[in-house]
Amino acid sequence: MTKYREILRLLSNQLKTDEIVHACNVSKKTVIKVKKRAEELEIHWPLDADMTDEKLETIMFPKPEKTVSTKRMPDFDHVRKELLRNGVNKKLLWTEYLEQCRREGADALMYSQFCYYIQQDEQKRHATMHIPRKPGQQIEVDWAGDTASVIDRDTGEITKVYVFVAAMSYSTYAYAEAFPDMKQASWIKANVHMLEYIGGVPRMIIPDNTATAVNRNGIRKEREINPSYQEFAEHYNTAIIPARVRHPKDKPVAEGSVSRISTWIIAALRNEQFFSIESLNREIRKKLEEYNNRPFAAKEGSRSELFRDEELPLLAPLPATPYELASWKKAKVQFNYHITVDFMHYSCPYGFIGKEVDVRVTDSAIEIFYQQNRVASHKRLRGRKGQYSTIPDHMPEKHQHYQEWNGDRFRQWGRKIGTNTYKVIEAILTSKAFEEQTYLTCRSLLKLADTCTPARLEEACRKACQFSKSPSYKSVKNILTAMSTMDSRAADHSPADPAAIPRNRYGITRGAAYYGGKDHAE
């Protein structure tokens, strides 16, 4: 599915077509087509939250026309590899190309056109040029190849730490910070700290093809921005444009900064010992300030002065709150309108009962999505397990298909069993802030009557009410278990036929007959 929303967002930021092509992994023709169609229909960013890519495609291109090229282009990668083999020339490859086109019913190029396009492909592969960078336009980010180290004060163990490096493409104003690993959380945190350090947001961020930034499709070898990194970009309203694989010229500033920072920061600290990442980062920050303030060798000023005077005024302002890394989970909406995340319960509209939803989890919030649309949001619960966060608007006015699950119905069922059962049901229904949160417990209590008799359940509830003013399902179940255990023990010590028990007037004494004496008749 084409990322229509992302294309329109980046167009609103006035990014160039080629930049959007790399950021969204689409063709140049698609970007131009979307831009033109959006202008015709007067569709502008920002869009409504429910305006998904599927809806945009239906509105903008209801009946897309499939265009078939009349001329089939040669496979340039195949041609380039074959020409390296002995005895293979363009004439032979063109002949094979013609035969393939005949088999597949495709129009073929003339030999002169075949040679022309091959020559053009070779020129594009070998062409290089200096690309002037605009102030405040982009920043290049990467992990440094050299690592630093931290010593455990107690054991003396040396642990490697990894250094994140970033540099503005225009001024080469740099940023560096050490992290214990190169995982997703460290990558996102490094990018957040980087933007806070430079004091603004450039239009583009150019990362390497690290797994924490880019997901690669193993079949089509497509590059897709990691979902968390994409959320980060949307939060700061910037574009992520990964460098191509094995193309260091796509981010020459970061490549050069890695080498220079490795020399002026990591290597400069090689003889010092650090017992924590915090102390290492304090020294890195000092060396970083020295590096940015060091005068240029071939021109006037320093990186700090050039960045301050020409780039900082052009950066977009930072958002009010920093980006918070999120994880995604799946959950099923239960009949009481809640999902469960980390042993806590969060409500969503009752219409989604039985549906599987996506849950976005951060340190402070829980967001519930269904088919990419957010349907509920909660402040994340902390502390005692089993807490509920329920929004009253999520509850139905009438339960419709689920109307049998309500407090009055449970009270009626409890009253049919007995007064004490009714008292326990009432105590459970009033034990939560919202009555609906107790329906599952009430149902479980009443189901106990299926495993024993209603009379035994009533007796267990009577005992539970004696022990506590707020009896619970667990206490009733424990009492039933204890009653069953006592009945089993009594059965094991009782004879099969109670009528067979001999009786005498001496009660539990054996009597004279037992000892061979004369038995006295009654």
Place 229 in a pLDDT band, splitting at 50, 70 and 90.
Answer: confident
Please give the Cα distance from 206 to 244 (Å, whole number): 10
pLDDT at 129: 47
Beta carbons within 8 Å of 86's beta carbon, 6+ residues apart: none
DSSP H/E element including 95? helix 90-104
Give the whole-number percent of the chain exceeding pLDDT 90.
Answer: 28
Domain that holds residue 26: 4-60
With respect to residue 521, please indicate whether it lies within any of the assigned structural domains.
no
Extended strands (E) in 136-266: 138-143, 148-151, 158-168, 174-179, 204-206, 214-216, 223-225, 239-240
Same domain flag for 264 and 161: yes
The answer to which of 45-54, 61-70, 395-404 has the lowest mean pLDDT is 395-404
Report whether pLDDT(315) > 70: yes
Same domain flag for 30 and 165: no
Same domain flag for 144 and 278: yes
Same domain flag for 354 and 244: no
With respect to residue 498, please indicate whether it lies within any of the assigned structural domains.
no
Please give the Cα distance from 354 to 242 (Å, whole number): 40
pLDDT at 253: 53
Give the whole-number percent of the chain exceeding pLDDT 70.
Answer: 83
pLDDT at 368: 94
User: 3-state SS string over 335-356?
Assistant: CCCEEEECCEEEECCHHHCCCE
Where do runs of H (alpha helix) occur along 262-359?
A: 277-293, 303-306
pLDDT at 357: 94
With respect to residue 133, please indicate whether it lies within any of the assigned structural domains.
no
The pLDDT tens digits of the residues spanning 253-284 come to 545 666 677 777 777 787 888 999 999 999 99
More confident residue, 311 or 219: 311
pTM for this structure? 0.49
Same domain flag for 279 and 147: yes
With respect to residue 320, please indicate whether it lies within any of the assigned structural domains.
no
Report whether pLDDT(209) > 50: yes
**Into how many domains does the chain fold?**
5
pLDDT at 383: 80
CATH number at residue 156: 3.30.420.10
Same domain flag for 308 and 236: yes
Same domain flag for 249 and 384: no
Same domain flag for 458 and 476: yes
Same domain flag for 390 and 410: no
The answer to which of 84-98, 309-323, 359-373, 402-416 has the lowest mean pLDDT is 402-416
Mean pLDDT, the chain, rounded, equals 82
The answer to which of 164-173, 246-255, 424-433 has the lowest mean pLDDT is 246-255
Same domain flag for 240 and 304: yes
Residue of 401, 397, 379, 398 lying closest to 389 (CA atoms)? 379
**49, 373 in Cβ contact below 8 A?**
yes
With respect to residue 12, please indicate whether it lies within any of the assigned structural domains.
yes
With respect to residue 214, please indicate whether it lies within any of the assigned structural domains.
yes
pLDDT at 41: 85
Beta carbons within 8 Å of 502's beta carbon, 6+ residues apart: none
Arithmetic mean of pLDDT, 480-500: 71
The answer to which of 23-27, 163-167, 247-251, 334-338 has the lowest mean pLDDT is 247-251
Report whether pLDDT(451) > 70: yes
Report whether pLDDT(395) > 90: no
Query: Residue 366 — left, alpha, or beta (φ > 0 → left; ψ -120 to 50 → alpha)?
Result: beta
**140, 167 in Cβ contact below 8 A?**
yes
Same domain flag for 396 and 413: no
Report whether pLDDT(219) > 50: no
Report whether pLDDT(220) > 50: no
Report whether pLDDT(67) > 70: no
Question: Final residue of a domain: which of 370, 400, 430?
Answer: 400
Query: Residue 227 — left, alpha, or beta (φ > 0 → left; ψ -120 to 50 → alpha)?
Result: alpha
Report whether pLDDT(73) > 60: yes
pLDDT at 378: 93
Question: Final residue of a domain: which of 347, 370, 400?
Answer: 400
With respect to residue 513, please indicate whether it lies within any of the assigned structural domains.
no
Same domain flag for 482 and 409: yes
pLDDT at 63: 61
Place 204 in a pLDDT band, splitting at 50, 70 and 90.
Answer: very high
With respect to residue 511, please indicate whether it lies within any of the assigned structural domains.
no
